[in-house]
Amino acid sequence: MTDITLQQIEIFLTVAEQLNLSEAAKDLFINQSAVSRWIRRLEQSLNKKLFHRNNRGVELTEHGEFLYAELKPMYQKLSETLQNMRNMYDTKDDILRIGCLDSTEVIHALKTAVKGFEHSHPDTLLKIELFNFNDLREALVCGKLDCIVTYSLGFGEYWNIATKRIKKLDTYIGISAKNPLAAEPKLRVKELRNETLYLLSVAEMKDAEIRAIETCKRMGFIPKDIKYMTSFFAWEMAIKNGRGFSICGKNMSDRFKSDIKLYPIKNPYQDQYVILAWRQNGSSELVKEFIQSINEVKSPVQILA
């Protein structure tokens, strides 16, 4: 295994995310033939086929899906460690260190929320870094970040950590376009009782699990089975490949677009938000100004009969 390099791992992860050799080559600033050559070498080293070619690009095999799910968090942790080394003495007063969950809808919510602050503080540098779910919270609690932006579900409660809701998200049923149930404009929801519900296996996402199951009950069915995936990408791949369905946000279809169909849920068991979180004690005046500049989304008023 000593012939496998960090460069091969980076190339593999990029191709796995783009599912297109040409686009991956652009991101990596190398030519497409080099990308193909490095992938072949990696497959030869592992003695496993990692990708299938198709008309639109490439598709991960089961071995490829497993390798991506295992390597991605390790690679992110390595990148974070190296970045922390670079930032160890970077404590200028005009820099805000903001962590963001690596999710399209969370990133978009952050970009929208900071526009006013960027206009009023043109000399302040917003250093935004992407993290996975667990590492993001740990970085905030340990003081590596000034504040973070993530999902409300699964965040939990921590001493000295305050939160503010900055965007309400819509809730959807996500199902593969290959599934026969997706052939009709209106989903026959109760037929999902014959399908498997796919969820993330993160222990801290227990409230998201409860939300998904209770939402299914509200729609009049209970899924045949529940399976848990180790990463966002593995979770999305399971749905895309037609293995079942999920209760999810709009970002479920961002990576695969036409391969996953979304059906809005009007009355989920629990609403999902993008939240801003920060340490109540020990935050600088600049951090406090930033927090105050972000508008909070109020919870819907519950009208009792």
One domain, residues 161 and 138 = yes
Q: What's the pLDDT tens digit per position in 54-71?
A: 877 899 999 999 999 989
CATH number for the domain that contains residue 221: 3.40.190.10
* H/E segment holding residue 149: strand 147-151
One domain, residues 253 and 182 = yes
One domain, residues 206 and 153 = no
Burial of residue 45 (CB within 10 Å: 0-12, 13-18, 19+) is middle
Domain presence at residue 38: yes
Tokens 């503080």 label which residue? Answer: 121
Domain presence at residue 234: yes
Range scoring the smallest mean pLDDT among 4-8, 38-42, 66-70, 213-217: 4-8
Domain presence at residue 304: no
Q: What is the mean predicted confidence (pLDDT) over 206-223?
A: 87
Higher local confidence (pLDDT), 180 or 132: 180
Considering 27-41, 53-67, 163-177, the range whose residues carry the highest mean pLDDT is: 163-177
Tokens 């079942």 label which residue? Answer: 244
Q: What is the mean predicted confidence (pLDDT) over 21-36?
A: 84
Computed over every residue of the chain, the mean pLDDT equals: 85
Q: What's the pLDDT tens digit per position in 263-301?
A: 999 888 888 899 999 988 878 889 999 999 999 987 654
Number of domains in the chain: 3
Tokens 């497959």 label which residue? Answer: 43
Higher local confidence (pLDDT), 8 or 157: 8
Domain presence at residue 305: no
Closest C-alpha to 271, from 174, 165, 188, 189: 165
One domain, residues 257 and 183 = yes
One domain, residues 76 and 39 = yes
Report whether 110 contacts 141 (CB < 8 A).
no
One domain, residues 78 and 105 = no
| Domain boundary, last residue among 61, 82, 103 | 82
- How many Cα atoms within 13 Å fall on the side-chain side of residue 97? 21
> Is the pLDDT confidence value at 244 over 90?
yes
Q: What's the pLDDT tens digit per position in 133-163?
A: 778 888 887 788 999 999 887 776 777 889 9
Q: What are phi and psi of 166, to 5 degrees?
A: -115, -15
One domain, residues 157 and 209 = no
One domain, residues 255 and 277 = no
Q: Which domain holds residue 280?
A: 95-169+272-293
Closest C-alpha to 75, from 5, 145, 137, 138: 5
One domain, residues 32 and 164 = no
| Domain boundary, last residue among 82, 108, 138 | 82
Task: Give the pLDDT band of residue 165 (cuts 50, 70, 90).
Answer: very high
Domain presence at residue 40: yes
> What pLDDT does 221 receive?
93
- Do the strands 95-101 and 125-131 form a parallel or antiparallel pair, or are they unpaired? parallel
